[in-house]
Structure 1
Amino acid sequence: MEHIAFLGLGHMGTPMARQLLAAGHPLTVWNRTAAKADPLVAEGARAAAAPAEAVRDADVVITMLAGPDALDAVADAATPALRPGVHWIEMSTVGPDAVHKLAARLPKDVTLVDAPVMGSTDKAAAGTLGILAGGDTSGVEHVLAHLGHVTRTGPVGSGAALKLVLNSAVISGIAVVAEALRLADALGLDGDTARTALANGPLAGVVARAFAEGVHFDATLAVKDLDLAARTTRLPAIEAALAHYRRVAAPGEDIAAAAARIRTS
């Protein structure tokens, strides 16, 4: 089986890497905070001290990083060590500009697929993520199948673009739900009654995520995603949601905690 290098072991990266290890792939892992690799090493992965070391013997490189700046830094370090013919799967939420920048710097014999994911830590752990894949996936379909269901979106960069569209809608929708419940509070309505009514309407999925437990999407990453969207074109509603999250987001907190703060502050 292909030797995979997995770079980025955050809340999503660790369970995704674990799926590949359980499938039998030789796995080398790297994370900026090295101790985060320890649980995977205990399960059979090899830890690398640097991105270049991680990718040196890899057939497939997967990046799952916090944002465009982190991807730039990893690409700078790892690109010179890539083997000819390697497949690079970029799964972070970084926007299409960062994907195109990565594509331009990779050697011509390296195949890039941008494949950001929909779903939180529970789906990552179950291998049931929604994967939005741009570019030629033919060489890595079987690898991606261990992580979830693949939707082909078009050329390189289209997966990142669609992920930005979907995340912007969901994250902004959560802020709208929080404001709607704030309105219900101001009108003297029972909070549970208002929440149930919203959950029974067209915003059901957004309401569920606003109150989700046992999953994690860092609220500061929500700020990053909305900021990427707002830099692309004029988006007044999304810009308003971004202002909310900038005001209340705390590192390490799930987006549901930010929603609760929007409702009450």
Structure 2
Amino acid sequence: MNSEKAKTKKSTTVAFLGLGNMGAPMARRLLAAGYGLTVWNRTASKAEALVAEGAVAAASPADAVRGADVVITMLADPAAALAVADAIVPALRAGTTWIDTSTVGPDTVRELASRLPEGVALIDAPVMGSVDRAATGELLILAGGETAPVAGLLAELGSVTRCGEVGTGAALKLVLISGVIGGVALVAESLRLATALGLPPELTRSSLAASPLGGLVGRAFATDAYFPVALAAKDVSLATGVAGLPVLEAVRGVLVGRGDLAGEDLSALRD
């Protein structure tokens, strides 16, 4: 059985587009697992480490996906996803599965699906978890669409929660990530309130950690995660564009207003 799985991996060609903080460790896991891997990134130098480990670098998105069995994208926002779609859709062949792991919202996912040629399947599979979980293959993958044909590949990246039809994974991701972002912002303000009241920082932190906010306190003090404030602002903006969410609107205002923290991890809101 193991030898058959190894043969399947070696015969499955994967194109991975988007080698940022999340994409690179995800691609590395697939390469280490034995998949034939072609990679592309807008900044070509980000592919060099993976090429040194055995991946093949493509000069363009279309070159990356041409002939691939599976295409995986991990891109920053809807504009990037749609731009890459413009480049790759003409090069996709029937029988290809496109797995989009970006956080772009269900409207963009449905737009991507509408552009696909006959015989190409789309799975929206945004992930929960940061760079640490991407490296260890412990991401939570929120999947909309039919995942059975790529179940083994997805298992290398993490555990899959089947959400329903295409677009439902993207929808659930907005729900979960908005809760996390709003929660971390709330922890940051609770800490600020404690300081203003003259409470010892360690007493405040330990008490919050023992409260129902415990998981969010852990994320607020994480040192091995990286989720830039700028991307958090993008995610909350996607959510507030769907429904009236006054609390999240306030959080979005804070995130957008902290341009000094744009490239810092979300935990920097404590500062």
Query: Runs of 5+ in structure 1 lacking a partner?
Result: none
Q: Tell me the amino acid that sits aligned with residue 179 of structure 1.
A: E
Q: Tell me the amino acid that sits aligned with residue 189 of structure 1.
A: L
Q: Tell me the amino acid that sits aligned with residue 157 of structure 2.
A: L
* SS across alignment from 2:212: coil
Aligned partner of 1:136 in structure 2 is: 146
Aligned partner of 2:237 in structure 1 is: 227
1:1-265 to structure 2, matched below 5 A, reads 1-249=11-259, 250-257=261-268, 259-261=269-271
Q: Is the 8 A contact 2:191 2:270 kept in 1?
A: no
CA distance in 2, matches of 1:194, 1:243: 26
* SS across alignment from 2:192: helix
Query: Runs of 5+ in structure 2 lacking a partner?
Result: 1-10
CA distance in 1, matches of 2:57, 2:159: 28
Q: Tell me the amino acid that sits aligned with residue 57 of structure 1.
A: G
Residues 170-190 of structure 1: CA deviation (Å, up to 9, x unaligned): 001100111111111111111
Q: Tell me the amino acid that sits aligned with residue 49 of structure 1.
A: A
Aligned residues: 260
Give the 4+ runs in structure 1 shifted more than 4 A.
none
Q: Tell me the amino acid that sits aligned with residue 111 of structure 1.
A: A
Q: Is the 8 A contact 2:51 2:57 kept in 1?
A: yes
Aligned partner of 2:6 in structure 1 is: none
CA distance in 2, matches of 1:129, 1:64: 13
Residues 217-258 of structure 1: CA deviation (Å, up to 9, x unaligned): 11100000000001001000111111111111433211111x
Q: Tell me the amino acid that sits aligned with residue 11 of structure 1.
A: N
Percent sequence identity is: 60
CA distance in 1, matches of 2:62, 2:137: 27
CA distance in 2, matches of 1:125, 1:58: 23
* SS across alignment from 1:140: helix
* SS across alignment from 1:49: coil
CA distance in 2, matches of 1:252, 1:215: 13
CA distance in 2, matches of 1:154, 1:47: 34
Q: Tell me the amino acid that sits aligned with residue 210 of structure 1.
A: A
CA distance in 2, matches of 1:144, 1:206: 27
Q: Tell me the amino acid that sits aligned with residue 165 of structure 1.
A: V
Structure 1 residue 83: Cα displacement: 1.3
Residues 128-187 of structure 1: CA deviation (Å, up to 9, x unaligned): 111011111111111101100011011100000000000000001100111111111111
Q: Tell me the amino acid that sits aligned with residue 164 of structure 1.
A: L
Q: Tell me the amino acid that sits aligned with residue 35 of structure 2.
A: H
Deviates further, 223-232 or 240-249? 240-249
CA distance in 1, matches of 2:160, 2:110: 21
Residues 62-109 of structure 1: CA deviation (Å, up to 9, x unaligned): 000001000000000010001111000010000000100000001121
CA distance in 2, matches of 1:228, 1:59: 31
Structure 1 residue 49: Cα displacement: 1.0
Structure 1 residue 196: Cα displacement: 0.8
Give the TM-score taking structure 2 as reference length.
0.94
CA distance in 2, matches of 1:215, 1:44: 26
Q: Is the 8 A contact 2:26 2:137 kept in 1?
A: yes
* SS across alignment from 2:177: helix
